[in-house]
Amino acid sequence: MNLQLEVSKKVRKNFQKRYESLPESLIKPKMVYINICINGTIIRAFVDTGASISIMCRSMALICGIDDLIDCRCVGKAIGIGKKDITGTIHYVDVQFGNSLCSCTFSILDESDILLIIGMDILRRYNAILDFSKNELRIGGEIIKFID
């Protein structure tokens, strides 16, 4: 019982340090979204530095009119927080960031809470810079402001 009380004191003291030194950690951080354009369709894309590959939901491919580019031979698993089946790949599609076109590849999920994820594959290929002090993504020679 004393051990539990001691642990509890340590935990409370640790929380107090967090509260005083890192108050922003108590607020859920805003995720990074940007507007992009694929095949004339403006899309709210989630920028995810924790995703190694870029993902598009099948319904988004349909909305953009590029569902006929899905190669269903390329299947696998998307593993992160949870697991989803990759049901195909779009090997090549031009994505418009501002006025610049960037060639991208997307793994396709049949269903997802997020319709399109820009992952590290695209961010690295185009030497992207996330600037949180200015709330912008610099990619392909363009500056793209974050959106809510």
DSSP 6-63: HHHHHHHHHHHHHHHH-GGGGSPPPPEEEEEEETTEEEEEEE-TT-SS-EEEHHHHHH
Contacts of 146 (CB under 8 A, 6+ apart): 30, 32, 33, 34, 135, 136, 137
Would you please indicate which residues are annotated as catalytic (active-site) residues?
A: 48
CA–CA dist 139, 131 (Å, integer) = 11
Q: What are phi and psi of 65, to 5 degrees?
A: 75, 30
CA–CA dist 139, 124 (Å, integer) = 10
CA–CA dist 10, 16 (Å, integer) = 10
